[in-house]
């Protein structure tokens, strides 16, 4: 027999022919036990020899030696010397398994560690769906190598419960229209990934975002408004954009008649806090806001941002870019 190399992807030189299909036995290394065991189990079953490993009934000497020989030819020399003492193929197989996975108690402890890892795993806001799905698939493979089973329905529910809030629309759609207990994990990943790509395609360039953040001087907004109104709502002249605008004059200490529930500001700090709280309560975003200030829109925006950053209490999040 020609000795095979010891790389993960290497295989022994001996081939077994079952029918017209040659079955190449993989070479066992320190890092490929999971795939080695999977391939060897399949080959032994194809040759009608897996019953020897199962140990359901006694087998004749020739069958035992054939199974042992198939396993021996895949082992590195040091491992071969360790298992040569065993008389049955089942003993050889179990010895290799214990060496790589540990005894039963160790395997159970590892499975529990994997369950804890799975339970605490969450998708990060800047993490791609495919990357997070890869982590889940890796845990599933480790479960299998330890003799455990992690069903697709568990992974599907874990995926749907772990994605950030921006995925809530697709999560709700999947939960409403799909049977989660029978859904394949790959299908769920595909739907989440497609939605993620859709979100990215709708992201606007920063220049367009910046253009929507209009800083207007209140003197240019039809100066006959007097002190009667602090907030006025208007629609954008751009019919396609359909984004709301709020005109705020921080020097106007009149009543806020256009926005129910707001008190008139008495200073710029309170006015800025009103801006942020208004945006948060209405679910708006910063490009919806047009800030007017007789001393300059930039000053007004700076106050609003200070408030938004929590310097004056809880309020909305600041914009991506000013």
Q: DSSP alpha helices (H): ranges in the chain? A: 33-46, 50-54, 61-72, 77-83, 89-101, 104-120, 129-145, 152-162, 168-177, 185-202, 206-212, 268-282, 297-308
Is 28 in contact with 9 (CB distance < 8 Å)? no
Confidence class of residue 20 from pLDDT cuts 50, 70 and 90? low
pLDDT (tens digit, 9 = 90+) per residue, 271-319?
Answer: 556 666 665 666 655 544 444 433 334 444 554 555 555 444 444 444 3
Is 51 in contact with 40 (CB distance < 8 Å)? no
Q: Is the pLDDT of residue 65 over 80?
A: yes
- For the segment 81-95, the average pLDDT, to the nearest whole number, is 91
The pLDDT of residue 40: 92
Nearest to 253 by CA among 287, 284, 221, 294: 294
**Model pTM score:** 0.41
The pLDDT of residue 108: 80
Separation CA 312–CA 272 (nearest Å): 9
Q: Is the pLDDT of residue 51 over 70?
A: yes
Residue 198, judged by CB atoms within 10 A of its CB (0-12, 13-18, 19+), counts as exposed
For the chain, which residues make up each domain, given as ranges? 11-101, 104-202, 208-308
pLDDT (tens digit, 9 = 90+) per residue, 185-229?
Answer: 999 999 999 999 988 877 654 444 444 443 333 333 333 333 333
The pLDDT of residue 259: 43
Separation CA 159–CA 171 (nearest Å): 9
Q: Is 135 helix (H, G, I), strand (E, B) or coil?
A: helix
The pLDDT of residue 60: 83
Mean pLDDT of the chain: 69
């Amino acid at each position: 027999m020609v000795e095979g190399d010891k790389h993960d992807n290497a295989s022994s030189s001996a081939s077994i022919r079952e029918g017209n299909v040659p079955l190449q036995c993989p070479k066992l290394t320190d890092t490929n036990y999971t795939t080695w065991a999977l391939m060897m189990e399949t080959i032994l079953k194809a040759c009608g020899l897996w019953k020897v490993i199962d140990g359901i009934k006694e087998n004749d000497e020739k069958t035992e030696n054939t199974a042992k020989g198939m396993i021996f030819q895949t082992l590195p020399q040091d491992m071969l010397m360790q298992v040569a003492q065993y008389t049955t193929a089942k003993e050889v197989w179990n010895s290799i398994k214990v060496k790589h996975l540990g005894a039963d108690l160790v395997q159970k402890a590892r499975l529990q560690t994997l369950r804890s890892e799975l339970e605490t795993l969450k998708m990060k806001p800047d993490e791609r769906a495919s990357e997070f799905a890869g982590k889940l698939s890796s845990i599933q493979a480790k479960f299998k190598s330890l003799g455990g089973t992690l069903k697709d329905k568990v992974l599907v529910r874990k995926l749907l419960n772990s994605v950030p809030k921006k995925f809530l629309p697709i999560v709700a759609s999947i939960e409403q229209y799909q049977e989660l207990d029978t859904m394949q994990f790959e299908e769920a990943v595909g739907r989440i990934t497609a939605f993620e790509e859709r979100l990215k395609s709708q992201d606007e360039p920063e220049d367009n975002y910046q253009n929507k953040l209009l800083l207007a001087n209140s003197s240019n907004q039809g100066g006959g408004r007097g002190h009667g109104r602090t907030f006025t709502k208007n629609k954008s002249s751009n019919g396609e954009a359909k984004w709301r605008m709020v005109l705020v004059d921080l020097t106007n200490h009149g009543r806020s008649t256009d926005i129910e529930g707001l008190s008139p500001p008495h200073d710029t700090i309170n006015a800025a806090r009103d801006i942020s709280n208004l945006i948060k309560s209405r679910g708006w975003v910063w490009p919806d806001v047009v800030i007017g200030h007789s001393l300059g829109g930039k000053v007004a925006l700076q106050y609003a941002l200070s408030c938004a950053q929590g310097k004056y209490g809880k309020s909305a999040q600041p914009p991506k870019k000013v």
